[in-house]
Amino acid sequence: MDYAARLSARLRSIQPSATVALNDKAAQLAREGKKVIALAAGEPDFPPPSAVLKETKAALSSGWTHYTSSMGILELRKAIATKLSEQNGLTYDPATEILVTPGAKQALVYAALAYLNDGDEVLAPEPAWVSYPEICALAGAKYVPVPTKPEENFRVTREALEAKVTKRSRMIFINSPCNPTGHVLSREELTAIADVARAHDLFVLSDEIYEKLVFDGHQHHSLAGFPGMWERTLTLNGFSKIYAMTGYRLGYVAAPAPIIRELNKLQQHSATCPTAFAQKGAAVEPKSVEATVTRMIKRFEKRRKLMVKGLAGIPGLVAKAPEGTFYMWLDCRGITNDSRSLSHRLLEEALVALTPGVAFGQSGEGFLRLSFAMDEATLEEACNRIRSALVKGA
């Protein structure tokens, strides 16, 4: 049977995730007995906060394993509303304006399917997360990259956005702190994005999953808090990165009630609801995990400094400290402009898995993304392996 011929045109337009593919290849090499250091995927190596684990175990023990409300349990939505109010200055009604989803990525898919038609266009500053273009394609929309430059610290300007706006523009995707570059959008940049969105009546999907991971005095600002933006912003976040709850698959989106109502229809007919006991685990008071989160951030900051020092002085490689996230955006243009071949070379010769920059758009060519969400000893070994492979091959 010709399965490919029967595949939908929509799915044929979608490429596999580069980060997942590299992680799978690294896992395969590990199964073959090779000691691979996998720094391609963004997964914290810490356990979830003890308060989360305690509530998760209690939920399982008490039989909390059945369907919940499709929007998520009200207890969790109230906790999210409290967090957004106290930490982001945003006010949402937990009963009607917050949807809990099986991972933040799912919320992004819902938003695209709900508000994009065939041929609609989505603007996104690039380099950008690998799933943005594919999710646009899934909705039948056109992904329109807005290139940023490393020489300008990946700054987003109104002029660059305006140059890409057409009559088919419907939405802007933003991510701050940014995966992969680590850039944190300033108030000036967010004001520019808000100006363009209001001027052209665009929705903005604000992916804030790395909001707590900021360094060197940089500050995260939620776009929905800017004048005229609450009603046109979908704020995405979740528990995977800063609570180290990746396997829980739990995220959320906050937006005006009419938007949440439509996104919930998609959830009802796909996932039905988020996992019950995972929701119970996440529904802890935000203040109860503050100390754990603070310790985690300090460890990430220590690792960030370790990586800058460990990769310094390698010919052709520039390793700058990111403003946020747990990724380093390695400038390899002094070695090659073919990031895929360099990524494969490092995996084969150094047994270190890094993501090629071109996976994050053409603006990322000549770079590699490295996740430092790994223990310090492993990161030091990774630096030594990378140095050995690149110096030997210079």
What CA–CA distance (Å, rounded) separates 110 from 83? 23
Point out the domain boundary residue: 286, 318, 348.
286
| Residue 159 neighbours by CB under 8 Å, 6+ apart | none
- pLDDT at position 14 is 80
What tens digit of pLDDT does each residue of 114-157 get? 999 999 999 999 999 999 999 999 999 999 999 999 999 999 99
What CATH number does the domain containing 39 carry? 3.90.1150.10
- pLDDT at position 393 is 56
What CA–CA distance (Å, rounded) separates 122 from 146? 10
For residue 2, count CB atoms less than 10 angstroms from its CB and return exposed for 0-12, middle for 13-18, buried for 19 or more: exposed
Q: Which residues are registered as beta bridge partners of 143?
A: 122
Point out the domain boundary residue: 286, 309, 329.
286
Q: Which residues are registered as beta bridge partners of 169?
A: 121
Q: Helix, strand, or coil here: 189?
A: helix
Residue 219 pLDDT class (50, 70, 90 cuts): very high
Mean pLDDT (whole number) for 77-84: 96
Point out the domain boundary residue: 286, 309, 344.
286
- pLDDT at position 392 is 74
- pLDDT at position 25 is 76
Mean pLDDT (whole number) for 366-381: 96
The residue length of the chain stands at: 394
CA torsion angle for 11, 13, 18, 20 (degrees, to 10)?
0
What tens digit of pLDDT does each residue of 244-280 get? 899 999 999 999 999 999 999 999 999 999 999 999 9
Structure tokens at 267: 């959830």
Domain identity same for 142 and 270 = yes
Mean pLDDT (whole number) for 170-180: 98
Q: Give the CA distances from residue 389 to residues 37, 216, 314, 344, 384, in Å, rounded to whole numbers and listed in that order.
A: 14, 31, 10, 12, 9
What CATH number does the domain containing 68 carry? 3.40.640.10
Q: Which residue has the higher pLDDT, 303 or 38?
A: 303
Low-confidence winner among 18-27, 52-61, 160-169, 171-180 (lowest mean pLDDT):
18-27
Domain identity same for 250 and 272 = yes
Contact 68, 279 (CB under 8 A): yes
- pLDDT at position 33 is 82
Domain identity same for 309 and 336 = yes
- pLDDT at position 394 is 55
Single-letter amino acid, residue 229: M
Domain identity same for 298 and 368 = yes
What CA–CA distance (Å, rounded) separates 196 from 156? 12
Query: How many C-beta neighbours within 10 Å does residue 225 have?
Result: 17
Residue 27 pLDDT class (50, 70, 90 cuts): confident
Contact 202, 176 (CB under 8 A): no
What tens digit of pLDDT does each residue of 281-330 get? 999 988 888 899 999 999 999 999 999 999 999 999 999 999 999 999 99
Domain identity same for 361 and 276 = no
DSSP per-residue codes, 254-279: E--HHHHHHHHHHHHTTT-S--HHHH
What CA–CA distance (Å, rounded) separates 230 from 245? 28
CA torsion angle for 264, 116, 174, 206 (degrees, to 10)?
-20
- HSE-CB for 194 with a 13 A CA cutoff: 19
Tell me how many domains the chain contains.
2
What CA–CA distance (Å, rounded) separates 223 from 196? 13
- Residue 15 confidence (pLDDT) above 90: no
Give me the phi and psi of 121, to 5 degrees please: -120, 140
- Arithmetic mean of pLDDT over the chain: 94
Domain identity same for 161 and 79 = yes
What CA–CA distance (Å, rounded) separates 73 from 270? 17
- Residue 24 confidence (pLDDT) above 80: no
Q: Which residue has the higher pLDDT, 362 or 9?
A: 362
- pLDDT at position 210 is 97
pTM as predicted: 0.93
Domain identity same for 97 and 223 = yes
Domain identity same for 148 and 246 = yes
Domain identity same for 142 and 13 = no
Which domain, by its residues, includes 230? 52-286
Domain identity same for 83 and 9 = no
Domain identity same for 76 and 186 = yes
Q: Which residue has the higher pLDDT, 53 or 23?
A: 53
Domain identity same for 37 and 183 = no
Contact 362, 377 (CB under 8 A): no
